[in-house]
Amino acid sequence: MGENPSKKSRVSDSIKLSICIPTLNRARFLAETLENVISQANENIEIVIVDGASTDNTADVVQKFKQKFKNIHYHRGEKNYGVNRDMARTIELAQGKYCWLLSDDDLLKPGAIDRMLEEITSECEIYLCNITACSLFMNPYKDVFWLSMQVDDCIFQLHNKNEFIQYCNKANSIGALFSYMSALVICREAWNKTGFHYEFEDTAYALASSLFTFVKGRCRLKYIRSSLVLWRNDNESFQNEGGLVKRFLLDFNGYLKLADKYFTDDKDVRNAFLEVMTREHPWYTIIHVASFINDVYSWAEFKDKLLLFRYNSKMVELYYLLGRCKPLVKAAVMIKRRLARSGIFLIHKK
């Protein structure tokens, strides 16, 4: 049974940072994550877990770790409401001034919590750190930088038009636009002013929508160049090739919806925002996707999405033609994956 969220006895001014973990049927990964977080935690830290009605032994795993660390607060839902709602629920139940949103299969690097406790003294609304991509067994193989490699630690005033455009122009990935939760630490007071956006519940970007509400008001983002998170990259739900087109459309449709909600009043801002997608999904990934689109009507729909994100129209036609060379594309993808694992390519993925 989860705890009664109406109880106020656990409220403490000493909690500075809440580690917020939504989970569902990942007991074996959650155990590793909790062990990792507890090894760094102190009395200023709490761990808030919202379980979307897991059918595995998640509750037993959490109970075991509660014996090691008293500031674990576990809430099991009556049914699975989805990761977006569960993530928002962790923030609602948290007591810390700041919330670190952590996937149930990711890990924090040694010293990450101490570093973040130091960072949040600057009282920005959002902190964004970089991450390290790992295999399924958490063997690191590449650091992932959300912004240009030339950008060092700095604060961006994202509510300022020019700084927001500058920030988008420096972005390598939509990870810079709040697509990857484990890299984000947010001010709970700022979150409580906007809360969960139900209109984005059917996308993967309800969190991003809430955070872009910050941008429309007051939003200081501290970019932390260091990698503080180990990302279990090989545990994604879209790993099979049949889900590749779906994976891309999830990004395209989600960020078009964000652009339509937040960036319709200024063409320059909207264009800078949308163009980040061309760096998230560069030319070679578009060719890979094109190789799985086998009819002209589906391609025409996909092409229209690309053009909205300001991909070059002539190059898009070339990507489709190259995608017809399926054996060549398949071989190129295999080579790229091997090179990525060897650390030769910089990865720009969520």
Give residue 335's pLDDT.
78
Q: How far apart are CA 217 and CA 192, in angstroms?
A: 14
Give residue 235's pLDDT.
59
Give residue 252's pLDDT.
97
- CATH class held by domain 17-235: alpha beta
Give residue 216's pLDDT.
87
Give residue 72's pLDDT.
98
| pLDDT-flagged residues of the chain (< 70) | 1-12, 235-242, 337, 339-350
Give residue 329's pLDDT.
86
Bridge partners, residue 107, by sequence: 230
What is the dihedral angle through the alpha carbons of 219, 220, 224, 230, rounded to the nearest 10 degrees? -20
Which residue ranges does the chain devote to CATH 3.90.550.10? 17-235
* Number of C-beta neighbours around residue 195 at 10 A: 12
Give residue 330's pLDDT.
82
Give residue 206's pLDDT.
96
Give residue 242's pLDDT.
57
Chain segment 211-246, per-residue pLDDT in tens: 999 998 889 999 999 999 999 987 555 444 558 899
Q: Which tokens go with 287?
A: 């060719």
Give residue 327's pLDDT.
86
Q: Are strands 220-232 and 140-144 parallel, antiparallel or unpaired?
A: unpaired
Give residue 147's pLDDT.
98
Give residue 341's pLDDT.
60
Residue 265: exposed, middle, or buried by beta-carbon count in 10 A (0-12, 13-18, 19+)? exposed
